[in-house]
Amino acid sequence: MPVAKRPPAPWALALPAGRRARARLFLRLAAPLSFLLLVAAFLRTQPPAAPLDALPPSAGPGKVAFLFLARAGLPLDFLWDAFFRNGEEGRFSVYVHSAPGFVLDRTTTGSPYFYGRQLARAVKVAWGEPTMVQAEKMLFAAALEDPANQRFVLLSDSCVPLYNFSYTYTYLMGSPKSIVDSFTDKTEKRYNPNMSPVIRKDKWRKGSQWVMLIRKHAEVVVGDKHVFQVFRKHCKVVVVQVMWILELLPYFGPF
């Protein structure tokens, strides 16, 4: 398939050629980390995947929803294209939130898997600000509209797949638990006691925003107003989205 030529990203234009090459190399090397965190780290900590037939029979094969929170385009679309081409029709769905006004089409992506997959509405996202949470919630909400979507993977525009489709699908569908990177950071000083009792100090966690949620937890995330409001009021803007989903964990109920 011919790969559409697209204009270089704005940040690439600002860099001299040598640095641009280094930046590209850095991106290549750094990008796997986010997905590595999401999937590979949990391969070690999760119990063996339950068989696929553990799903209710009415759910059909079930889909994994890939939710891309992108700045504008998807620079690594060619990797995802190969990944999805290896996938099975009807076992995945793709949703993209990118900057308002940006359109993923033949001129901006070489991968047809991204055509027409953008949300109808988009917000202007600023990193670490409430708009990012809003965009994430919009992605989960759009994917929840399809009852076949059973697993919801939130991805950045620099995430890459490290395993093939069938392996990833079987692994994610077989996990009855959401996959969330969450840890206690003893040096963390940003807890504000005014957030109690909605967010208790002993529940305060740090982690990555790139998560895989099961359907029940995606519904909790979309339905939340309470925790986010407290966050918005008492938390420094820069940490809002990093920790917001983590503070919802106690509301997920027993796993």
Ligand X SMILES: *[C@@H]1O[C@H](CO)[C@@H](O)[C@H](O)[C@H]1NC(C)=O
> Where does this chain bind ligand X (CB under 6 A)?
164, 166-167
The Cα–Cα gap between 224 and 8 comes to: 38
**By CB neighbour count within 10 A (0-12 exposed, 13-18 middle, 19+ buried), where does 56 fall?**
exposed
Q: Within 10 A of 76 (CB to CB), how many other CB atoms are there?
A: 19
Q: What six digits make up the tokens of 227?
A: 């925790």
To ligand X, the closest distance from the beta carbon of 86 in angstroms equals 6
The Cα–Cα gap between 168 and 36 comes to: 12
Would you say 140 or 165 has its CB closer to ligand X? 165
To ligand X, the closest distance from the beta carbon of 37 in angstroms equals 19
Would you say 166 or 229 has its CB closer to ligand X? 166
To ligand X, the closest distance from the beta carbon of 121 in angstroms equals 36
Would you say 86 or 107 has its CB closer to ligand X? 86
To ligand X, the closest distance from the beta carbon of 85 in angstroms equals 11
DSSP, residue by residue, 87-148: S-TTSEEEEEE--TT---STTT-S-GGGTT-B-SS-----TTSHHHHHHHHHHHHHHHTSTT
Would you say 70 or 172 has its CB closer to ligand X? 172
To ligand X, the closest distance from the beta carbon of 193 in angstroms equals 48
Nearest residue to ligand X, using CB? Answer: 164
Would you say 82 or 99 has its CB closer to ligand X? 82
For residue 244, the number of C-alpha atoms closer than 13 Å in the C-beta half-sphere is 32
